[in-house]
């Protein structure tokens, strides 16, 4: 297993599509370069923000390879590979490994709500085959099941390849319980990144980083360096953008913003659709205020 620590500012990068629905790999290259120039510490490709559920296997591999092409030798690349079918999770993980990914992000199985023993068996099966570092992703709002700290720590103890958790429960108390157990904790909510860092957290797998990588990375790095006053300043600069990114289902607002910024075409795959017209003026104003457009 690669000896890598995943900490700091980590964008969950969007997947750009052309108007005809195909992948826009040139836009993806530009976006990855924008992230690296902004000072990010790693990149997650093909997560939920990257509309991974809509990608064919060949597209999934193309996205990961394209991100690695630009990021190689600079920052690690983590591939989202989650599924609620362990066999499929292993399949995606092996595709990511062959493509050259440095680590895997695995959401806890959704809809079928496994027990703790089922989760241990799931992650153990993935780890046994891939021998890659794994970030467990707890996001009750999408999976319908909140994996509690005791269970997360038990999984990490039983499966050493699970080296970190992306925590999107929205509960700082829950995150602190995991931190007490010694596991690396990354925020899954942009707006909770600084509060988490203040109590010992290690960074964030971020949406807002797509639009504002330098501001977000500056906030994370200042916080991790112990300069909370400086970090707080960046936090409140980004506050409105963090919030409006979730006025509709992610990644609708962030992709709309990147389109307004001239970085990608405004294109989604069903079941996601274009942003509601009534929400666009507020998003545009926030981007202008931040001098992103």
Question: CA 166, CA 171: separation in Å to the nearest integer?
Answer: 12
Instruction: State yes or no: 13 annotated in a binding site.
Output: no
Question: Of 137, 154, 233, 285, which is the active-site residue?
Answer: 137
Q: Identify whether 60 is a catalytic site residue.
A: no
| Burial annotation 3-40 (CB, 10 A radius, 16+ → b, else e) | eeebbbbbbbbbbbbeeeeebbbebbebbbebbeebbb
Question: CA 148, CA 176: separation in Å to the nearest integer?
Answer: 12
Question: Of 74, 166, 230, 285, which is the active-site residue?
Answer: 166
Distances in Å between the Cα of 22 and the Cα atoms of 49, 56, 177, 228, 275 are: 17, 11, 43, 43, 19
Question: CA 36, CA 99: separation in Å to the nearest integer?
Answer: 20
What are residue 44's DSSP bridge partners? 12, 78
Angle between helix axes 86-99 and 116-130 (nearest 10 degrees) is 30
What's the distance, CA 144 to chain centroid? 18
Instruction: State yes or no: 116 annotated in a binding site.
Output: no
Q: Identify whether 137 is a catalytic site residue.
A: yes
**59 phi/psi in degrees, rounded to 5:** -70, -40
What's the distance, CA 91 to chain centroid? 20
Annotated binding-site positions for pyruvate: 49, 205
Q: Among all residues, which ones are annotated catalytic?
A: 137, 166
Annotated binding-site positions: 49, 205
């Amino acid at each position: 297993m690669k000896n890598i620590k995943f900490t700091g500012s980590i964008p969950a990068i969007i997947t750009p599509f052309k108007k005809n629905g195909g992948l826009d790999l040139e836009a993806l290259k530009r976006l990855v370069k924008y992230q690296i120039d902004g000072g990010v510490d790693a990149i997650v490709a093909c997560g939920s923000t990257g509309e991974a559920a809509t990608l064919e296997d060949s597209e999934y591999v193309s996205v990961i390879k394209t991100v690695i092409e630009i990021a190689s030798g600079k920052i690690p690349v983590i591939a989202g590979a989650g599924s609620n079918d362990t066999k499929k999770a292993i399949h995606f993980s092996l595709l990511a490994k062959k493509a050259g990914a440095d680590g895997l992000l695995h959401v806890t199985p959704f809809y079928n709500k496994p027990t703790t023993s089922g989760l241990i068996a799931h992650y153990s099966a993935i780890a046994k085959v891939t021998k890659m570092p794994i970030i467990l992703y707890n996001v009750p709002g999408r999976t319908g099941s909140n994996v509690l700290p005791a269970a997360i720590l038990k999984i990490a103890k039983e499966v050493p390849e699970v080296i970190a958790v992306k925590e999107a429960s929205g509960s700082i108390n829950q995150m602190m319980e995991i931190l007490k157990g010694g596991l690396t904790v990354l925020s899954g909510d942009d707006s909770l990144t600084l509060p988490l860092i203040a109590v010992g957290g290690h960074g964030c797998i971020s949406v807002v980083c797509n639009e504002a990588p330098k501001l977000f990375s500056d906030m994370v790095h200042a916080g991790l360096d112990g300069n909370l006053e400086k970090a707080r300043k960046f936090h409140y600069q980004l506050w409105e953008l963090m919030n409006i990114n979730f006025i509709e289902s992610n990644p609708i607002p962030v992709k709309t913003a990147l389109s307004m910024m001239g970085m990608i075409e405004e294109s989604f795959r069903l079941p996601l659709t274009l942003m509601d017209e009534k929400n666009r003026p507020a998003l545009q104003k926030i981007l202008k205020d931040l001098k992103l457009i």
